[in-house]
Structure 1
């Protein structure tokens, strides 16, 4: 079994522990990870950091949390990359650091030759490793504190925050802070803005929005200003798009006025006093779509005719 496969095996076991909320055996898995030489490529491909951080947040065992923190700290060094200003000093210290015979030291020394490339990769992947945001200023305002708590609770919907390893309380505070900084008040407009964020985060039909906020793909300040249309699920966006198209067609039909006829029977009132309009909705070689309106009851429907016009 390759090193990558071994790490993936451990990550899957940890994810199951988190889902079952039972961290028994986590310490043994963490000890296995400690003995595996870690590289930046392995961190990115296996996403083991998210699994370890989830175990750290859930476990009440001090030994487990301590070892998890130690591993994350050592892996953070790989993400940060060695300092370019001290390359010459690092090279001089290579014999001393190698004598320590630690996996972290070996990986840091081996990556010094291509530090600039490592830094670019680290910056691109740091958000997906463990999301972090500048800490929000504390507040004693009871309304703001309550809103921060409700936003944090909404972010915890579905337990995605555990697998991602996000700090939902700090993230909720960041979102609230961005809303407050824009509106400068805790009036009804502020409360409505907070409520709309909470409702969309809790929407079970739109889990991707919550995941994108937790992962940092949507920053807190951006999420604080998003409109209802921007926060909507892909399914709802498609529905709105279709409704807009239909409204445009109906507007075009009403604008042209249509032609009165008795060739159509209304399915609602069974009368034949109708007005129709034909519109080419698809390619020119396909039948035109005929929109019919009953002049008696206002019922509307559409039909496909094999002829280009109605006689």
Structure 2
């Protein structure tokens, strides 16, 4: 069956209601479809057929499971054959290259003299492609008997390694220090508090906009014990700290600007103590065409009143 025929059969299958029609169409697909990755992607036949896996009719569900299993195996075999085909030329090329680059044999005297005078080879610098993590770096994080602690160390390693080129052994050491500090702070227990704290710390460290935090941790400007006691504001990147400070100053200014300006006068008389030293301020408390409301406070007894 070509792509067009498969799509047509799938369309009829979606419209089918009775079990006999569904079984008939499924058998057609089972017998006539030659599954390839391209065909399955274009027609989405696997997606449609898979919907009948939990069908009430056991014949339908059994046939669907058999079809899906067979198609999956066929596609996997296709992928494996492609991999083998692509690997063969590269293997032969590398073999030819190694043979061509093999130096001619030398006598023992020349080898000993050259080894004595030749400088020691420099250590190769590893160039990391893509995001780093413990598995890609070949780092063993199976340190403890507790899997949660091991997973925490691995997650901390991946967070500390974001956009970093530090040696793996150094990153692992810092990750272990942080995890152990949290573990000890929780009285050597892996509990919900332990998990929540580590989730928070991992998110803060992993933040790509906060390279300063990773730098401070890996350079040990911040100790692990100090780090686990820091507030989110203290961990925030410098640009965010400046924004928070700016907002705080603006809010403080706005709050001060909203304070009522009071004036002291002797035009009003306190109805309670009859003193004339009265402070007042005015506000528009009603509609714009109404007069201002005057709020008075007696500076002598503290009595308050208002009038319009």
What's the TM-score bracket when you normalise by the shorter of the two chains? Answer: 0.3 to 0.5
Higher gyration radius (CA): 2
TM-score (normalised: structure 2): 0.38
Structure with greater contact order relative to length (CA < 8 Å, sep ≥ 6): 1
